[in-house]
Structure 1
Amino acid sequence: MADLLIFDLDGTLSDSAPGILAALRHAFAVNDVAPLDPRTEQALLGPPFYTSLPPLIGGESKLPGVLAAYREAYGSGGMFDTTAYDGVADVLAAARAGGRRLAVATSKPEPYAVPIVEHLGLSGFFDTVGGDTLDGGRATKALVVGEVLARLGADPSDAVMIGDREHDVYGAREHGIPCVGAGWGYGLPGELAEAGADPICAHPSELVTALGLVA
């Protein structure tokens, strides 16, 4: 019965893989980087690219060019190639009706995250949308969660995280916050369970029970 529900964005609120991966493939092509296999691409969905990409592109030297090309493609329209998962809006509405506070905590840079949440038609549900900075000032999910807590003056003991990747679980845990697993997202098989997400929901509708909401 936590007062504050903190949601991840990519793979939790919306299926953003089409826009992200199209922009990333473009960035690889213009920087002469070999394409990735589908499983590796999936593993990239969620964590910050400036930490996950270097081992895959031959080190740090190509990272500035890849990130610049990615952000150009993503910011010029790819960011809006995303769709809210079925049932998400109903869960958010039930949470609001029950007096809960809602926030987004994403590793995506906040200048992208805010308009994306607006594009999805979900911005009215959230008290704040927190993300990384473009210069990597909030390089971990724990730092983003901490920023959200500070903005809202929230007590971590009265919050719960909802996310689809292990870094959501670990980032929340650094603040003593439990994490409900979004099993419909981009987590690899067994990832959420191994990280300690509990419970793990197979569909957004299952959050109604997991979070103690009234549908």
Structure 2
Amino acid sequence: MMIALFDLDGTLTDPKAGITRSIQYALERLGHPVPEADALTWMIGPPLISGFTKLLGGAENAPEAVHLYRERFSDVGLFENEVYPDIPAILEALHEAGFRLFVATSKPHVFAKRIIDHFGLSRFFREVYGSELDNRNADKRDLIRHILDRERLDPATAVMIGDREHDAIGARANGIAAIGVTWGYGSRQELLDSGVACLVEKPRDLHEPILTLTGSMLRPAARA
């Protein structure tokens, strides 16, 4: 059985408006200077707690910032979002090809599931996995390990698709190949430096590398 794990933000959907506006809301409530949206896109993808720690210059106010962020995001921000073109089509193709598809996001799963349902993507996925509200499994290494254990998956039959270095690092730590996508918020160099097997420029071009990577992993097992 071939497995594909998909990151959410910057891979399946473009969450820029909702995330950056919620960050700005949190900063304003804290009395902190509020950057323009384009100066905050680096926070899309990594765990929020680490992003706010860096943004605020220390960990002291980061938990409160996350709380304030979620105050807006949970009601408004999560729907200020849109699915990237051709994503439903590629998910449909993989689903029909027999892949088991999972979402693997650092976003809390309570929000991720609402987003996936809202955009009508839940029919493609076996399960939506994310972090807990207390930040457990926010690190992609921990999250992917949790998915593999929970679903009893063989990492040799799986591939991780994501737009940030954290996706590739998490995949490599668990023996999974990673595909870097360039339409999200990670740079090409960031993805290459983190060890992705390849870069993909458009969602419609994902099918072939996913098949190639999972197929090449399956063949040695078949000979054994």
What range describes the TM-score normalised by the shorter chain of this pair? Answer: over 0.9
User: What is the match of residue 94 of structure 1?
Assistant: 93
Question: Contact 1:88/1:205 (CA < 8 Å) preserved in 2?
Answer: yes
Normalized per residue, the structure richer in helix is 2
Give 5+ residue unaligned stretches, structure 2.
213-224
The CA deviation at 1:37 is: 5.6
Is 1:23 the counterpart of 2:22? The answer is yes
User: What is the match of residue 135 of structure 2?
Assistant: 136
User: What is the match of residue 74 of structure 1?
Assistant: 73
Give the total of aligned pairs.
Answer: 212
User: What is the match of residue 200 of structure 1?
Assistant: 199
**Counterpart residue identity of residue 41, structure 2:** Q
Which piece of structure 1 moves more, 35-44 or 146-155? Answer: 35-44
What is the aligned-residue RMSD (CA, Å)? 1.5
Question: Contact 1:20/1:78 (CA < 8 Å) preserved in 2?
Answer: yes
The CA deviation at 1:209 is: 1.6
Which piece of structure 1 moves more, 169-178 or 39-48? Answer: 39-48
Which piece of structure 1 moves more, 56-65 or 109-118? Answer: 56-65
User: What is the match of residue 34 of structure 2?
Assistant: 35
User: What is the match of residue 51 of structure 1?
Assistant: 50
**Counterpart residue identity of residue 107, structure 2:** K
Structure 2 distance, partners of 1:189, 1:145, is 22
User: Could you give the per-residue CA deviations for residues 96-127 of structure 1, whole angstroms, max 9, x where no partner exists?
Assistant: 11111000000001111111111111001001
Question: Contact 2:130/2:138 (CA < 8 Å) preserved in 1?
Answer: no
**Counterpart residue identity of residue 4, structure 1:** I
Structure 2 distance, partners of 1:64, 1:168, is 23
Structure 1 distance, partners of 2:32, 2:17, is 19
Give the secondary-structure state (helix, strand or coil) at the position aligned to 1:111.
Answer: helix
User: Could you give the per-residue CA deviations for residues 33-61 of structure 1, whole angstroms, max 9, x where no partner exists?
Assistant: 11236564121110111112212213222
Structure 1 distance, partners of 2:80, 2:23, is 13
Give 5+ residue unaligned stretches, structure 1.
none
Which piece of structure 1 moves more, 54-63 or 166-175? Answer: 54-63
